[in-house]
Structure 1
Amino acid sequence: MSTELVSLDASKLAELIRTREVSPVEVVQAHLERIDAVDRRINAIVTVADDAIEAAKAAEAAVMAGRELGPLHGVPFTAKDAIDTAGVMTQRGSPIFKGRVPDTDATTVVRMKKAGGILLAKTNHPEFSFWIETDNLLSGRTLNPWNPDRTPGGSSGGESAAIAAGMSPIGLATDVAISIRGPAALTGVVGLKATHGRIPMTGIWPRVPRRFWHVGPIARSVRDVALAYSLLAGPDGADGFSTAPLQLDAGVGSSPGRPLRVGWLVDAFAPVDADVAATVRASAEALTSLGIAAEPVRIPVLEEINALELLWKLQVMETKPAFRKVTAGHEDKIFKHVQGVYDTPDTSIADFVDAEQKAEQLRDGFAAYFQRYDALICPVTTVPAHEHDAAEFDIDGQKVSSLHVMTATAPLSVTGLPGLSLRFGTSREGLPIGVQLVSPWMAESTILHLASLLEAVSPVRGLHPDMSRI
Structure 2
Amino acid sequence: MSQMLLPPASASEIATAVRRGEVTAQEVVEEHLALIARVDSGVNALTVVFAERARTTAAEVDATIAAGHEPGPLAGVPISVKENIDLTWSATTNGWRGLAGAVPARDATIVRRLREAGAVPVARGNMPDFGMRWDTDNDLFGRTCNPWNPRRSAGGSSGGDAVAVATGMSAIGLGNDFGGSLRLPAYATGVVGLRPTHGRVPRAAVQGQPVALTLQQFSVNGPMARSVDDVALALGVMQGWDADDPVSVVPPAASPDGMPRRVGVVRGLAGLAVDPEVAAGVDRAAASLSRSGWEVVDVDAPLLEDAAVLWRRLSCTDMLISLDPAALGQPLGRSATAFLRDSTAAARPYESAREYAQAWARRAAIATEWRRLLVDVPVILGPVSTSRMREPDYDLGGREAADRAWRDLWLTVVVNFLGLPALALPTGLGSDGMPTGVQLIGPMFGEEVLLDAGRAVEAGVPSLPPVPSPS
Q: Does structure 1 residue 32 correspond to structure 2 residue 36?
A: no
Name the CA distance, whole Å, in 2 between partners of 1:386 and 1:145.
14
Distance in 1 (CA, whole Å) between partners of 2:368 and 2:382 is: 19
Match of 1:167 among 169, 193, 196: 169
RMSD: 2.3
Aligned to 1:322: 322
Is residue 2:243 matched to residue 1:237?
yes
CA distance in 1, matches of 2:326, 2:2: 43
| Aligned match of 2:157 | 155
Q: CA deviation at 1:426?
A: 2.4
Cα drift, residue 259 of structure 1: 4.8
Partner of 2:453: 450
Which residue in 1 is equivalent to 2:9? 8
Q: 2:82, 2:126 within 8 Å by CA — same for their partners in 1?
A: yes
Compute the TM-score of the two structures, normalised by the length of structure 1. Answer: 0.92
Correspondence for 1:341:
340
The offset of 1:151, in angstroms, is 0.9
**Closer, same or farther in 2 for the Cα pair 1:82/1:272, shift >3 Å?**
same
1:328/1:189 CA distance change after superposition, 3 Å: closer
Contact 2:35–2:169 (CA under 8 A) maintained in structure 1? yes
Residue 369 (1) aligns with residue 368 (2): no
- Which of 410-419 and 61-70 deviates more? 61-70
In the alignment, the residues of structure 2 paired with residue 340 and residue 289 of structure 1 have an alpha-carbon distance, to the nearest angstrom, of 43
**1:90 touches 1:101 (CA, 8 Å); kept in 2?**
yes
1:353 pairs with 2:357: yes
**Partners of 1:369 and 1:176 in 2: how far apart?**
23
State how 1:201-240 maps to structure 2 within 5 Å: 201-203=203-205, 207-208=211-212, 209-240=215-246
Give deviations 1:26-45, integer Å, cap 9, x for gaps.
11111111111010000000
Q: CA deviation at 1:392?
A: 8.4
Q: Counterpart of 1:380? A: 384
Counterpart of 1:412 in structure 2 is 415
Alpha-carbon distance in structure 2 between the residues aligned to 1:216 and 1:191: 8
Query: Per the alignment, do residues 278 and 367 of structure 1 end up closer, same or farther by CA in structure 2, a change over 3 Å counting?
Result: same
Change (3 A) 1:328 1:81: closer
8 Å contact from structure 1 (residues 275, 426) kept in 2: no
**C-alpha distance in structure 1 between counterparts of 2:46 and 2:122, whole Å:** 10
Residues 399 and 184 (structure 1 numbering): CA distance in 2 closer, same or farther, change over 3 Å?
Answer: closer
Question: SS of the counterpart of 2:386?
Answer: coil
C-alpha displacement at 1:203, in angstroms?
A: 4.1
Deviations 1:394-453 (A, max 9, x none): xxxx99612223212100000001000010132220111111111110111000011112
Partner of residue 180, structure 1: 182
> What's the offset of the Cα at 1:326?
7.5
Contact 1:90–1:122 (8 Å) recurs in 2: no
CA distance in 1, matches of 2:239, 2:140: 32
Residues 348 and 8 of structure 1, relative CA distance in 2, 3 Å threshold: same
1:313-332 Cα distance to aligned partner (Å, 9 max, x none): 1122323332226764423x
Q: CA deviation at 1:55?
A: 0.8
CA contact (8 A) 1:327 1:334 kept: no
Match status 1:285 vs 2:287: yes
Please name the residue that 1:102 is paired with. Answer: 104
Match of 2:261 in 1: 260
Q: Unaligned stretches of 5+ in structure 2?
A: none
* Aligned mates of 1:67, 1:238 — CA distance in 2: 30
Query: How far apart, CA to CA, are the structure 1 residues paired with 2:273 and 2:2?
Result: 44
Q: Distance in 2 between matches of 1:206 and 1:182?
A: 28
Q: How many Å separate the matches in 2 of 1:17 and 1:416? A: 36
State how many pairs are aligned: 456
Match of 1:299 among 264, 285, 301: 301
Would the alpha carbon gap of residues 462 and 277 (structure 1) be closer, same or farther in structure 2, given more than 3 Å must change? closer
Paired amino acid for 1:192? L
Report deviation, 1:75: 1.3
Match of 1:23, as an amino acid?
T
Whole-angstrom CA distance in 2 between matches of 1:91 and 1:458: 38
Per-residue CA distance 1:252-287 (angstroms, 9 max, x = gap): 42x3x7751111112115221111112112211211
1:440 corresponds in structure 2 to 443
SS in structure 2 at match of 1:409: helix
- TM-score by length of structure 2 reads 0.91
Task: State whether residues 127 and 338 of structure 1, in contact with CA within 8 Å, keep that contact through their aligned partners in structure 2.
Answer: no
In 2, the alpha carbon distance for the partners of 1:412 and 1:199 equals 16
Q: Structure 1: where are the runs of 5+ without partners?
A: none
Q: Name the aligned partner's letter for residue 309 of structure 2.
A: E
Compare 1-10 and 99-108 and name the one that shifted more: 1-10
Deviates more, 1:82-91 or 1:345-354: 345-354
SS of the residue corresponding to residue 210 of structure 1 reads helix
Q: CA deviation at 1:103?
A: 1.3
**In structure 1, what residue type is equivalent to 2:27?**
E
Q: How far does residue 114 in structure 1 lie from its aligned partner after superposition?
A: 1.1
Aligned to 1:200: 202
Cα distance in 2 for residues equivalent to 1:151 and 1:272: 19
Tell me which residue corresponds to 1:44.
45
| Change beyond 3 A, Cα 1:400–1:348 | closer
Task: Look up the SS of the partner of 2:33 in the other structure.
Answer: helix
- Confirm or deny that 1:389 pairs with 2:388: no
- The C-alpha deviation readout for 1:225-275, integer Å capped at 9, x for no partner, is 0011111111111211112x13x144x42x3x7751111112115221111
Deviation at 1:93, TM superposition (A): 0.4
In structure 2, the residue matched to 1:75 is 77
> In 1, Cα distance between the equivalents of 2:447 and 2:329?
44
Moved more, 321-330 or 145-154: 321-330
